[in-house]
Amino acid sequence: MRRQRRRWWLAIGILALALLALVSLAVGSRSIPAGTVVAALQSHDPGNDLHLIVWELRVPRLITAVLAGVALGLAGAIMQAVTRNPLAEPGLLGINAGAAVAVVLAVTLLGLTRPAHYVWFASLGSGLAGAAVFLLGRAHETGTNPVRLVLAGAGLSIVLIAITGIVILNAPPTAFDDFRHWAAGSVEGASIEAVAVLASCTIAGFAIALSIVGGLNALVLGQELGQALGAAPRTIWLLACLAVMLLAGAATAAAGPIGFVGLMAPHLARAVVGPDHRWILPSSALFAALLLLGADVLGRVVAAPSEIAAGIVVALLGGPFFIVAVRRFRVSRA
């Protein structure tokens, strides 16, 4: 019965994602008729302005939103499984804070103003922060004590957030102006190079996640029981951290710090498909992609011809939706 139901849910989810993708190609500051969108996808005519908009602007943006969503959803589900903590989210490994501090330094010290340049600094920052948390939390021997890694992540995040705040308050107002727009989290102006990086990181992260999915199921039962079932906590932890860093780091670099998706999607996934991580991981990825793409589309529709950043819309709509979902479904703990 449950198996039947969750198949239906996933099918509906994929269908919704496909529809949303089409809509996202059509709407924006200049809306394009659905027929033209389909024509542009079938045969690209470089002389046609509308075709150019679809291919140069909207397709990279669509791919970024979907991939960033998938990455955040997967990273969140992995984090919650290995820490056995329903409040865990990818940001706990210091990734968002690392990216933010790198962007702030790039803006204030180097005077960069174009989001396309932030990408590289954000990747560098989140990578360094993730590695520092990894070493300080002694992830290689943490098999028995996930608390340590979480504490290291929380500690480093707080330090980095404080540094970000101090730099911002002491910088000229224009730097704050640039930073506040990045910090809202948006997939606007996604470039095809950034998409390539994001795609390769997401695929690698997904592959690692799939390789440990059985271990995650065992670990959720608890350290001892998991070990008795043949899971190797240390290896699983190492691989899980690596996957989260790749996934969340790439997503933050491409779309800015979008926090809530990685926290919420796994809860929704568990409510729908139950406690098996072979199902939780893909459905959490699907829900997160839906959320982020939906938020992006809505942000363009509501405020047209201007737009609201996807990160803001996700929080504004995701919050109430999350509340309704938690009240309606029985949410399992981890």
| Interface positions with another protein (CB under 8 A) | 85-87, 136-137, 145, 147-148, 150-152, 154-163, 165-166, 168-170, 173, 176-177, 180-181, 183-184, 259-260, 263-264, 267, 308-309, 311-316, 318-320, 322-323, 326-327, 331, 333
DSSP 143: G
| 294 close to 62: Cβ distance less than 8 angstroms | no
Q: How far is the CB of 246 from another protein (least distance, A)?
A: 23
Looking at the Cβ atoms of 53 and 264, the one nearer to another protein is 264
* Structure token digits, residue 200: 């390769």
**Alpha carbon 203 to chain centroid, angstroms:** 13
Residue 176 burial (CB count, 10 A): 17
Looking at the Cβ atoms of 115 and 259, the one nearer to another protein is 259
Q: How far is the CB of 11 from another protein (least distance, A)?
A: 27
- What would the DSSP string read from start to end of 185-250? ---TT--HHHHHHHHHHHHHHHHHHHHTHHHHHHHHT-HHHHHHTT--HHHHHHHHHHHHHHHHHH
Name the packing angle between helices 95-109 and 233-255 (round to 10°): 40
Q: How far is the CB of 132 from another protein (least distance, A)?
A: 9
* Structure token digits, residue 179: 């930073």
Distance in angstroms (rounded) separating the CA atoms of residues 326 and 151: 27
Looking at the Cβ atoms of 32 and 293, the one nearer to another protein is 293
Q: How far is the CB of 330 from another protein (least distance, A)?
A: 10
Looking at the Cβ atoms of 57 and 312, the one nearer to another protein is 312
Burial of 234 (0-12, 13-18, 19+ CB in 10 A): middle
Q: How far is the CB of 299 from another protein (least distance, A)?
A: 10
* Structure token digits, residue 203: 């695929």
Residues whose CB falls within 8 Å of the CB of residue 311, separated by 6 or more in sequence, listed in order: 184, 185, 186, 255, 256, 257, 258, 259, 295
* Structure token digits, residue 326: 């938690």
Q: How far is the CB of 45 from another protein (least distance, A)?
A: 37
Q: Cis link prior to 305 (omega < 30° from 0)?
A: yes
Looking at the Cβ atoms of 50 and 159, the one nearer to another protein is 159
Residues whose CB falls within 8 Å of the CB of residue 58, separated by 6 or more in sequence, listed in order: 24, 25, 28
Looking at the Cβ atoms of 93 and 213, the one nearer to another protein is 93
DSSP 144: G
Q: How far is the CB of 47 from another protein (least distance, A)?
A: 37
Looking at the Cβ atoms of 68 and 149, the one nearer to another protein is 149
Q: How far is the CB of 161 from another protein (least distance, A)?
A: 6
Looking at the Cβ atoms of 209 and 298, the one nearer to another protein is 298
